[in-house]
Amino acid sequence: MADAGTLADLTDPITAPPALHDPTWRGFSSDNASGVHPEVLAAVAAANGGHVTAYGDDPYTARLQDVVRRQFGAQAQAFPVFNGTGANVVSLQAVTHRWQSVVCARTAHITVDECAAPEKVGGLKLLTVFAPDGKLTPELVDLEAFGLDDVHRAQPRVVSITQSTELGTVYTPAELRALADHVHSRGLVLHLDGARLSNAAASLGCELREITTDAGVDVLSYGATKNGAIGGEAVVVLNPDAVVSTDAAAYLRKSSMQLASKMRFVSAQIVALLEGDLWRRSASHANAMAARLAAAVRDVPGLEITQPVQANAVFAVLPPQVTARLQQRAYFYTWNQATGEVRWMTTFDTTEADIDAFAAMVREEMARG
């Protein structure tokens, strides 16, 4: 006898449940706070229905490999994962042995915002250096990339950078090339945390491979979530010679709890972004909204914009009482409690009206003192 829920029931029209939030409200806390781009949502819906083989042996993950090779080069291989922390941990493990370490900026996400996952899960020592604008240089790398062959020191193996950086700044292709050449001359590997790689490429007006493969990056954590996906990133091996073994990323993904059983839905999201120009359209819009916000508040007396606005982030210092009042009206994060620096993030769905209304709030609250 058939179950109460029959196959016919699955094709019946579905009434969506009521939303539990105000879908018209948008803030400036994070590009993780936004919804899903309609084109990505449509791609996930198209991947639904029927059965396909689990754990990545599906047509959407196969298509993803083709798309990634077109974007990043013939040697590129993608390993979809659940989130950015997982992408970073798997990437770094794939190019290191247990006695090796990672050089990164003191503001890097891997050392500030991942709850010690690289250390606890990856077993990696992080060697941090101060970078005022969030960007590493050859000279800054050398502050920690020493002690090679010293058995008492965790051996530097990887330099990890973020593009765009945690401070919203962007490495140019020339800066990346100089850094990669220096890193490789020291026998090290270059990892790029690309949570906002699309915003950087859109800001520079270049293709993704120009600031990754062509610039000498060895392994990439590709970010889709902040660019309009539901949730999903990818470890992208750009230089197979950099990984400790040919199958390292595959096995590390599983042992790091990042292997999706229904991988088609993760892959479909990234394909939707990368197959055409959706990644660029979404990132360009987010960047333009950040530039509009910076222009609208730059001349407000008592407010200081602290970093160049090169992607989709605006960093500013304003009085703490003003911050507190503004956060009641349009939530955003305080970046540095000691200095009063805040961060305003824009996304693919931020509107000009959102920007103009928030800028008016800033002016109003600053005038109140």
| CATH code where residue 325 lies | 3.90.1150.10
Phi-psi group of 50: left, alpha or beta (phi > 0 → left; psi -120 to 50 → alpha; rest → beta): left
Q: Does one domain contain both 313 and 225?
A: no
175 is a domain residue: yes
Q: Are residues 215 and 98 in the same domain?
A: yes
* Type and span of the H or E element at 304: strand 304-305
For 97, the token pair is 């042995």
Picking from 239, 274, 309, the residue at the C-terminal end of a domain is 274
Residue 251 domain-assigned (yes or no):
yes
11 in a structural domain: no
Question: For residue 272, which of 234, 208, 224 has the smallest C-alpha distance?
Answer: 224
**Radius of gyration of the CA atoms of the chain, in A:** 22
Domain holding 48, by residue range, is 38-274
Domain boundary among 274, 294, 316: 274
Same domain, yes or no: 60 and 118: yes
Assign 235 to helix, strand or coil.
strand
CATH code where residue 202 lies: 3.40.640.10
Same domain, 166 and 213: yes
When divided into structural domains, the chain yields a total of 2
Asked, for residue 22, whether it belongs to a domain, the answer is no
Among 274, 294, 327, the domain boundary falls at 274
**pLDDT tens digits, the chain, 369 residues: what are they?**
445 556 667 667 778 899 999 999 999 999 999 999 999 999 999 999 999 999 999 999 999 999 999 999 999 999 999 999 999 999 999 999 999 999 999 999 999 999 999 999 999 999 999 999 999 999 999 999 999 999 999 999 999 999 999 999 999 999 999 999 999 999 999 999 999 999 999 999 999 999 999 999 999 999 999 999 999 999 999 999 999 999 999 999 999 999 999 999 999 999 999 999 999 999 999 999 999 999 999 999 999 999 999 999 999 999 999 999 999 999 999 999 999 999 999 999 999 999 999 999 999 999 998
User: Distance from first CA to last CA of the chain, Å, rounded?
Assistant: 73
- Here the tokens at position 214 are 């062509």
Query: How far apart, in whole angstroms, are the C-alpha atoms of residue 267 and residue 202?
Result: 22
Yes or no: say if 39 and 278 are a contact pair by the CB < 8 Å rule: yes
